[in-house]
Amino acid sequence: MSNDILVVAELKDGQLKKSAHELLSVARKLAGELGGKAHAAVLGAGASGAAGELAEWGAESVLAGEAPAGALAAVRALAGAVASKQPRAVLFGVSAFSRDVAARLAARAGGALASDAIGLKAEGGGLQVVRPVCAGRAILTANHAGPGPLVATLRANSFEIAKPAAPGAGTVEALEVTAAEADLRVSVKEFVATKSERPELTEASIVVSGGRSLGSAEHFKVIYALADAMGAAAGASRAAVDAGYAPHAMQVGQTGKTVSPALYVACGISGAIQHLAGMRTSKYIVAINKDPNATIFKLADFGIVGDLFEVCPALAAEVKKLRG
């Protein structure tokens, strides 16, 4: 096993996701501490075209493969990348893809899995991982020294993003993507994506979320208006989603998506533990609720006690003035 770090970069519509920059920033730092190099693997249509950008962010080599036929084929391809580079760690962003692939890859490579990490560093000749446990109510620090690689999924916006002073070599190597018959138990027939000008929820630096107290899907336009004024992603609590006020893709929480933005604005959200599990690592939390005893205020950095239907439009108007 080398002291190199392998990043698995993801594409969306042929373009690298923001998480690739964050992952390579972490990989370069770790590789520097260990005396190794940062490498990247990327799968999907247009993978080879992403090599230049991955090099700009510090990848010494890029293993590129065309679109795999499902998660199991992706695992097979990435196992080949691990065998080639023998990395100390393999880093993914937290996503639907990594949930399908990371644990399988760890098992196939004889390594260990650390999911949803918010801290990662070299320590005592091995790697130290920090991750939330017990629905975010406790933070676990664990050490990994081998023998296989550490496979970790990193929570978005939890690590500093820093472009290197000089790019990596970016040497492109073909990554063979083949599918055995056993890999084809599930096939993807079609992707149906909703069109939105807002940032992706899990990668956004600002998130504005609404709860059940919005009262209807029509009233959720208050949340969308504030999010658009702030250039933010829009989220929702499970209660709001279950009531049909917002689609499941917007759900933040233990059974939804986990976010860690620089700013999280919770509008009419009481603060149930299931919701807090999905956003409590946000750097700053603003709560808007007319109940002064709402649990969310215990976690919030700033609180506004008031009617969200009055506060949110006023806040959106002020933000628009500040942004010109």
Spatial contact of 157 and 260, defined as CB atoms under 8 Å apart? yes
Class of domain 5-185: alpha beta
What are the residue boundaries of the structural domains of the chain, listed by start? 5-185, 201-323
pLDDT digits (tens, 9 = 90+) for 205-262: 999 999 999 999 999 999 999 999 999 999 999 999 999 999 999 999 999 999 999 9
Helices (H), the chain: 18-34, 51-56, 71-85, 96-109, 221-230, 238-242, 273-276, 296-299, 308-323
Please tell me what DSSP assigns to residue 67.
Answer: P
Could you tell me what percentage of the chain is helix, strand and coil, using 3-state DSSP and rounding each to the nearest 5?
A: 35, 25, 40
Q: Which has more confidence, 48 or 68?
A: 48
Spatial contact of 142 and 128, defined as CB atoms under 8 Å apart? yes
Superfamily of domain 201-323: TPP-binding domain (3.40.50.1220)
pTM of the model as a whole: 0.87
Average pLDDT over the chain reads 92
pLDDT digits (tens, 9 = 90+) for 272-316: 999 999 999 999 999 999 999 999 999 999 999 999 999 999 999
